[in-house]
Structures are given as C-alpha cells and as structure tokens.
C-alpha cells in the first residue's frame, strides 16, 4: 500500500514528460527531442568523452600512452574517473537546476550523457556521494542520488543511496586549496553495511568533480570496507585549475 503514492507520482511525472515539449537542458528553448541541446548550447558544451588517461581521465601528454605519468607513479585510490562534460557556465547551470529546478528531467539528461562512460567490471553497485542529513532535510533530496537512480535504470546496475553516510557536516569546499579540501572531508564518511560493498566495484556518482577530495575520502572508507575497486562518474569536471576558486 505504501508504494501506491510513489507509483502515482511516477506515472504523473511520465505523463507530464510526455505531454510537455522537450526543452534544451542548457537554455530551456523547445527542441526536437529530449536530452538534446539546442544549436547554440551544443556549440558551447565541451563533451569530455572517454579520451585522456585511462585512470584519472585527464588529458595525456604527447609522450604518454594510455595512463598519465602521475597515475603510473602512484596508482590512484579511484581506479577510473570520468565526467560527461567540462565545467563551465552551461554545465554549472544544469547542476544548479538539478538542485533547485526541474530535477527529474535534468537528472535524466545528465544520466543520458554519463551512462556511456560507465563500464562496470565484475559485480558493481552505484553509490551517490551522500549529503549530511541536515542538508538532506533542508533540500529534501540528494541530487546525486537522483542521477544514480537514473543511471541504474539505464545500466541495469543496482544503486544504493543509503550505504554511504556523511557523518559530519563539512563547510563548502569552494575557495579552498586541495590540501585544505582533503583535510576538511577526511573521516566525514562511514559505510552503513560493509558486506554490501565487500568484493564489489563501487561506482561513485556525483554532479561536479573539482579536485576529487570528497570522492577520495569516500573511496578510502569504501576500500577499507573491502570494495574491490572504486570508480567515479560525474556530470561535469573542472578542467581549468582557475575555476577551483570560484
Ligand atoms: Zn540551449
Ligand atoms: Zn592519470
């Protein structure tokens, strides 16, 4: 019985999605099909695709083969990082509207471009980067959990937003140096059920990747809980270091 309202809400949402004309996820003008950017926005979006370092995804130097020198020197805790697009005003706008605007439609658009970048190895599970419960209460939902559930639907990989918890409220990392960021998020996460991640490939899902310090902190507790491999997929990624301070 408890599921009925959810089903009705789902049905209403699908009916509405069907009835409303599709809009450009970048600027909102009416477009021919869902998830498609209008011509102006399309020119602006920088899709990152699957090029770059096999592990961290950053652009490779001409001399490097498939893995960058940094990842070869010290294998990163997150075995594979991928982002659909570069972080700029347009992709940032989508991330903001995912938090405050047409949530489900935006989450679907993001998942549409993120899903092809996920190649789960072995038994995999999608885990959104969690919010602290006080932030969850004020916002009412975790935007990354919405994207994870859309990815789950597309990839047929289970998603669980409850396995990883944020036990400490951390201040916004904006404007902090990479070292400050690492210190701020260290020890802020906990696994609710270690058996549920042990031996699995965990695919962390987040909206924006900046320095990766939050995802690193998540990966460290996941590895300690016995996860075989941790990957990260995000909507946007900061590729210009100057944007970190914004
Ligand atoms: Zn547009
Ligand atoms: Zn690398």
Q: Which ligand is nearest to the CA of 25?
A: 1
| pLDDT at residue 209, rounded to an integer | 92
Q: Which ligand is nearest to the CA of 24?
A: 1
Ligand 2 centroid from CA 53, angstroms: 5
C-alpha–C-alpha distance, residues 37 and 118, integer Å: 22
| pLDDT at residue 246, rounded to an integer | 43
Q: Which ligand is nearest to the CA of 27?
A: 1
pLDDT of 72-104, one tens digit each? 999 999 999 999 999 999 999 888 888 876 688
- CA 127 to chain centroid, in Å, comes to 9
Ligand 1 centroid from CA 179, angstroms: 37
| pLDDT at residue 1, rounded to an integer | 42
Q: Which ligand is nearest to the CA of 42?
A: 1
| pLDDT at residue 84, rounded to an integer | 96
List of the chain residues with pLDDT < 70: 1-19, 101-102, 241-246
HEC profile of 38-55: CHHHHHHCCECCCCCCCC
How many Cα atoms are found within 13 Å in the side-chain-facing hemisphere of 100? 4
Ligand 2 centroid from CA 230, angstroms: 15
The sign one gets for the Cα dihedral 28, 32, 34, 39 is: negative
Q: Which ligand is nearest to the CA of 68?
A: 2
Ligand 1 centroid from CA 93, angstroms: 11
pLDDT of 37-64, one tens digit each? 999 999 999 999 888 899 999 888 888 8
């Amino acid at each position: 019985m408890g599921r009925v309202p959810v089903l009705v809400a789902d049905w209403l949402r699908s009916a509405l999605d069907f009835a409303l004309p599709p809009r450009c996820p970048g600027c909102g003008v009416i477009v021919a099909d869902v998830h498609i950017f209008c011509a102006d926005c399309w020119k602006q979006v920088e899709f990152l695709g699957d090029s770059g370092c096999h592990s961290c995804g950053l652009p490779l130097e001409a001399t490097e083969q498939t893995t960058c020198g940094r990842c070869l020197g010290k294998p990163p805790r997150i075995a594979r990082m991928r982002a659909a697009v570069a972080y700029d005003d347009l992709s940032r706008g989508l991330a903001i509207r995912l938090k405050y605007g047409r949530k489900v439609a935006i989450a679907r658009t993001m998942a549409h471009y993120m899903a092809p970048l996920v190649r789960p190895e072995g038994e995999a599970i999608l885990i959104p980067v969690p919010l602290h419960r006080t932030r969850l209460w004020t916002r009412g939902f975790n935007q990354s959990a919405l994207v994870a559930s859309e990815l789950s639907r597309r990839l047929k990989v289970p998603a669980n937003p409850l396995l990883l918890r944020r036990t400490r409220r951390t201040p916004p990392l904006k404007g902090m140096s990479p070292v400050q960021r690492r210190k701020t998020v260290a020890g802020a996460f906990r696994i609710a059920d270690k058996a549920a991640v042990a031996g699995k490939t965990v695919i962390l899902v987040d909206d924006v990747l900046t320095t990766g310090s939050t995802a690193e902190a998540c990966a460290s507790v996941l590895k300690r809980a016995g996860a075989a491999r941790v990957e990260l997929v995000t909507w946007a990624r900061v590729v210009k270091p100057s944007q970190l301070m914004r």
